[in-house]
Structure formats: structure tokens, C-alpha cells
Amino acid sequence: MTIAALLLLAHSTDACSVPVFRYALERWPADLFEVDVFYRGTLTPDQRARVSRLEDQSQINGGAVNWEVIHCNLDEELAEDLRAVGGTLGEVPLPHVVLRRPGGRRGSAVVWSGPLSEVNGSLWTSPARDELIERLANGDSVVWLVFRGSDEARSRQVVEKLQEQLPGLAAEIPLPPGAGLPGSELLTKLPLEVRFSVLEVDGKPADEALLRNLVTRGVLDDPADDETIVVPVFGRGRAMTALKAESIDEALLAECSGFLCGACSCQVKQSNPGFDLLLAVNWDERLWGDSDIPLETAPAQPVADAADDPGEPTYVPIPAGRNQTPASGPRRPAGLDADGQADRTLYWAALGVASVVIGIVLRCRRSFSRTPSE
């Protein structure tokens, strides 16, 4: 067995019974993008007002957008990473805004840049993103985004394939036994069911073009602007991967769907496949309203300074799940069979999860997709 398989097996043995898509929705806060505002000297009152508007939108300040605003005065000493980004701007009008992906430390891929005067709501919201939020908040397990390409017939073929095969997968994929029982509690009142939907996106309008950038830049190798792209999204707007149309087949759909609907197998969000999208939504408010937020959730964290050590990964506790025991007779320690040996069923289940994850990774590599570069 490979080292990767052993690590996956180690994670899997502590899996709870909550499906990945539901665990992500209820317990994983969206990662924060970085908005770098480059300028010289002092901002004018109008410019300060524009920057303040961006800051007010941030979840850190009580807003709805998962980003953090960083002031970058080029006349002052900046962190090495920010100096590098500023050095690539060239002769551009200042102030200039650079939107970058979330990262443990600064240095993530740029997904958009432009003058501060041109920044507007299309940067953080769009009709497709609003619809995506509604579907996820109302219980869709996975929303399959399809970015239409210039070949309309090819795009339609991909959509029809998804619409034909996903309902059958939803009916066949079993939910993990024990979800909702003590030890694997569900934190919202949404019905637990496997439900897939397909959302077509025209990536040509400015607001949807930014969404297309979010799922392709630093993710796919040399994607053509007119290429059909498929992206499975779950949780609080987390894309599992980005796939080129030619890689889509029934086996790959089954692998991705099975993983996202299987028992959550890792305490560390960043150790699971995927990357977050830029959305304008207060997920805690959408999921729980005025009710108290469960203690198992965690607020979004600011990006670490480039000079700081990123430290250890943040662990989100996962309950161990509920072991089914006979109504009578002595209670056995969790994970042991009647002979006091490690539960063989758990072992093979864990091995199965590891095999599925490895299979998905290999399939995605063949379709030229990877995790966002930093």
C-alpha cells in the first residue's frame, strides 16, 4: 500500500457518519480571499470611502463576503510577497485592486485585478452565485455548475449527460448509517437526502466571467476561454474540482458523487479535495437564523501575514460516530469485535474510502485539473 493510501486510511478510521456535503455545510467556514489594495501616499476621501465599502463587505467586519482587505502602500515597507505582487502591476492607475485566492500565507493565485474605481458588486455577486447559494442553503447535496463553451452543441450534450445520470446516482448512493444519531449529530433542520442539481452558467458577462476565473485560474492547465467546464460544488460554496467536458463520464460522476455523499473522513478541511468560491452570504444566518450557532462551527480566520509561520492546521472536531451494539450483553469498546480484535468491517470500509479518493485524484489528474496553485 502506498504512503498516500496509508495516510488516507489513518484519517478514514476516525470517520463520523455525517456525509461530507452536510458536514461541510454545517461545520466548515468559507475560506477568506485576499483583496490587496495598492496605492501610494494617502488615499483621497473618495478612495477611502471605496476601500471602506470593501472592508464593510468582509465577514471579518460583519459583512457577507468571504474576503479580507489588505492596505498596501507602495511608499512603505511591505511584506515580501506583497512587494512581489506590487512589482508585477507595471504602469497601472493607482489605487489598484488585486483579488487573490485564500491561502495559509499570502502568495495565492490572482483571479482578478483592476483599478479601485472599477470595483463594483459584480466582483462578489452574480445571478449564478446567488442561485448557487439558494440551492446549497436549501439542501442540495451537490450543485454541478456547467460553464457553457462556444460549442453550444457540446455544452448541451454535457448538460444532458448530467441530467440523465445524476438522478440515478442520487437514488442509488446510500447515506452513511448512523447520520443524525448521537455522536454524528446534524446541526440544521434541513432534511438529509441525496439531491443533485445542474446549474448552467454563461461565463461571458463580467460578473459570471469572474466566477469562471474562480474555478479555472490556478486549477486547470491552459483552459480555453470558450471551453465547457464542469464544477461540482458542495457545502458553503466549496468546489471539489474543475473538469473539462471530455473527461466527464458515468464512472467519474459516480466517484465524485460517492465521495461527497460518503462519511466525512478527515478533521482538516484543507486535507479534503476542493477550494472555496467567493460568495456574498452569511451562512450562519442562512442556516440558523436567530437561533444560537452550534459550538462545533468556527468563524472565518484572517489570512496569516507573510512573515508569520503558518503554524499547525486548524482541526475541526469530528464526532466518532455511534457504534451499533446489541440490546443486551456487555458493551464492547468502540472499534473492537467480539474477540477484542480491531473491527474488520471498519478496516475494509476505511480502505474502500481510501481507494475511492485515490481514484478520484487520478481521474482528475488525467483531466488536467489540480488544486489551486499558490
The type of residue at 112 is: W
**pLDDT tens digits along 257-305:** 999 999 877 656 777 789 999 999 999 999 998 776 675 555 555 544 4
**Residue 7: its pLDDT value, please?**
32
Greater pLDDT, 154 or 184: 154
Confirm whether pTM is higher than 0.85: no
Q: What is the pLDDT of residue 48?
A: 98
Please give the pLDDT value at position 363: 53
Distance CA 263, CA 16 (A): 6
Task: Pull the grid cell for residue 237.
Answer: 460554496
Q: Alpha-carbon dihedral of residues 202, 203, 208, 214, nearest 10 degrees?
A: 130
Domains of the chain by range and CATH?
3-29+126-287+352-366 (3.40.30.10), 33-120 (3.40.30)
Least confident of 12-26, 100-114, 153-167, 354-368: 354-368
Reported as a single tens digit per residue, the pLDDT across 38-88 is 999 999 999 999 999 999 999 999 999 999 999 999 999 999 889 989 998
